[in-house]
Amino acid sequence: MTTSLTEMEILAIERACERLVLDWVDLNDRQDYESLAALFAADGTMIRPNGDPLAGRAAILKSYQSRPAGRITRHICTNIRITVESRDRARGLSYAVVYSANAGEPAEGHFGIKAEPRRLIGEFDDEFVRTLEGWRFSTRRARFVMHT
Amino acid sequence: MTTSLTEMEILAIERACERLVLDWVDLNDRQDYESLAALFAADGTMIRPNGDPLAGRAAILKSYQSRPAGRITRHICTNIRITVESRDRARGLSYAVVYSANAGEPAEGHFGIKAEPRRLIGEFDDEFVRTLEGWRFSTRRARFVMHT
Amino acid sequence: MTTSLTEMEILAIERACERLVLDWVDLNDRQDYESLAALFAADGTMIRPNGDPLAGRAAILKSYQSRPAGRITRHICTNIRITVESRDRARGLSYAVVYSANAGEPAEGHFGIKAEPRRLIGEFDDEFVRTLEGWRFSTRRARFVMHT
């Protein structure tokens, strides 16, 4: 129950969790996987779109570091809706449209490089927990709904 | 005039209206049209992109329930800007990019189903009112600006 | 350092800067370049994707007014992340997907006009300053990462 939380406390939790969601896509796009893994609680779990659960920061880091190099992505992250459940727990839903490109492509003037034709439209289903380090993902489940 | 509202009151109204905008697209994408109609004031109006006004929750519900089944949509909702006009009134503007797919299409592995090639880029022009049930749409006007 | 700022003060700065980011794209899409230039500090600089720096409101206004007429754009603006640095300074990052169309195209019923096939995926890197007129861009750097 959130009855004991003030409006300002609820707002601060919502903002902290929204920021985690945006930081995750930023760190993913910048391929800073150590910082990305640190957005999870020590025992947090990332469930990949293929259903694979990655339990704990080390497993998350290893999985992302094993991705093929040379790919650029931009996760257009929208529709972020956080629901505060208690002083220490919250849930969230968000959408992401993933544009990607081969980093080896030459840039066309100042218009950047050519994106791959397949675009993925996905969703994130998140559980957040307040830890001694601040708010973190306890579970982040990704899935793709459709693609172009 | 909002001179009598505190910064925190304005912020709370903005958040409530932003959430209505995001809830509308979420309930639309999940095809929960009863809950979608309940986001409007009892005498609220939805103006469809074709110009048809749907006056009142029953008319809104009937219109959405009569949509052809078997279609999946994802409304990528962005650029939400709320302007608080008083303790009980606010206005809003937002964009939506609508991806859709035929639910009968087979999924391609974990990449979801193939989206239809036409994507719609639209805008919402909203008026919000505070009711005994909380903030609701008094008028929501949708229009499409362009399409791919 | 933000140690002397209250949570509410930080939140208010974040909101003001987010709003600047959304107002910029709105005024750009509506081609209201005088108002767009006024979002910058008097000595603010806009750095265009081609690297050209536009120093001061007059230079910004002149550059935007010299654009070819007859083009409609919609900047889908997402992933806005503001970092407050002090009572008077903040930084921000955001993404934009730019859809455009030729205003001379006929509308297809209520689906709007046909978008040009090239879509640009870009980023903004912003510095904000509190002025006597309120928060403004001190520097806004735009670049395109990829395109469809």
Q: What is the ipTM of this complex?
A: 0.94
Rounded CA separation A146/A118 (Å)? 10
Q: Examine residue A2 and state whether it is found in any structural domain, yes or no.
A: no
Q: Examine residue B63 and state whether it is found in any structural domain, yes or no.
A: yes
Strand partners, A53: A47
**Both structure tokens of A98:** 């993933």
The distance of B146 to chain C (nearest Cα, Å) reads 4
Q: Examine residue A1 and state whether it is found in any structural domain, yes or no.
A: no
pLDDT digits (tens, 9 = 90+) for C57-85: 999 999 999 998 899 999 999 999 999 99
Q: Is B1 a residue whose pLDDT tops 90?
A: no
In this prediction, residue A79 has a pLDDT band, given cuts at 50, 70 and 90, of very high
pLDDT digits (tens, 9 = 90+) for C33-66: 999 999 999 999 999 999 999 999 999 999 999 9
The CATH number that applies at residue C127 is 3.10.450.50
In this prediction, residue A2 has a pLDDT band, given cuts at 50, 70 and 90, of very low
Judged by average pLDDT, the poorest of A29-33, B5-9, B18-22, C83-87 is B5-9
Q: Examine residue C1 and state whether it is found in any structural domain, yes or no.
A: no
The count of residues in chain C is 148
The distance of B41 to chain C (nearest Cα, Å) reads 26
Contact B39, B137 (CB under 8 A): yes
Residue type, C59: A
Of A81, A118, A145, the CB nearest to B74: A145
Q: Examine residue C22 and state whether it is found in any structural domain, yes or no.
A: yes
Give chain A's domain count. 1
Q: Examine residue A82 and state whether it is found in any structural domain, yes or no.
A: yes
Q: Which domain holds residue B57?
A: 7-147
Q: Examine residue B20 and state whether it is found in any structural domain, yes or no.
A: yes
- Summarize the confidence of residues C14-39 as an average pLDDT: 98
* Neighbour subunits, A (≥3 Cβ pairs < 8 A): B, C
Among residues B76, B28, A145, B148, which one has the least CA distance to residue C96? Answer: B76
Among residues B27, B19, B24, which one has the least CA distance to residue B46? Answer: B24
- Which residues in chain B have Cβ-Cβ distances shorter than 8 Å to A79? 22, 25-26, 75-77
Q: What is the reported pLDDT for B3?
A: 60
